[in-house]
Amino acid sequence: MTSSASPSFIYLASQSPRRAQLLGQLGVHHELLLPAPDEDAEALEAVHGGESPSAYVQRVTALKLDAAVARHARLGLPPAPVLCADTTVALGRAILGKPEDARDARRMLALLSGHTHRVLTAVALQNGKRRWAALSVSRVTFGPIGRSEIADYVDSGESLGKAGAYAVQGRAAAFIAHMTGSYSGIMGLPMYETNALLKSAGFKRQATPPCKTS
């Protein structure tokens, strides 16, 4: 890749439809750069013993970006910045990633019930040989959640594939008593930090059409 010209699009190395949606909200044209079936992307998310949540999420994001940049080179794709992000939920120093199954999801939500936890989303962008990174930390307080409420939520299927076993933009909003920080960061892509990285890389966002008035 080369960064000699201002890029007009980026590669998003994420399967998350929420991140794609948030990039679109920023007016960022992007193309997906997803792992091949033979790439073990889940292995990159393994937690190291004694690792803090912030160190973990930043390390995983860097590893995902390394893999995406190598994938870009291997495929011989046109040059453009590559963006990666990773989100984790932390209760104290305990890292709550994506639940393995419904039982694990119920366990996580029971832990979060009535407590304040952190949502950490790391973002990393590479353009040519240069790399930029940022970390967004938000705090979310859940009110008490009954066992039947947890069971109903998990049965909806919304908790699977989500860090901490919940989606802030979905039915889990009913559990949230208070939050501070970045709502988009809790969703999976903090727009303020992402926009700052794109500016650093010289990315030019698409112009937003003017609103029509009647």
Catalytic residues, by residue number, are 86
Which strand (E) or helix (H) includes residue 119? strand 116-127
Question: Which single residue is written with the structure tokens 């705090």?
Answer: 139
> Whole-angstrom Cα distance, residue 105 to residue 156?
12
Chain length of the chain: 214
> Whole-angstrom Cα distance, residue 10 to residue 13?
10
Q: Are 39 and 67 in contact (CB under 8 A)?
A: yes
CB atoms within 10 A of CB 77: 14
> Whole-angstrom Cα distance, residue 62 to residue 84?
8
CB atoms within 10 A of CB 61: 23
Rg (CA), the chain: 18
CB atoms within 10 A of CB 54: 15
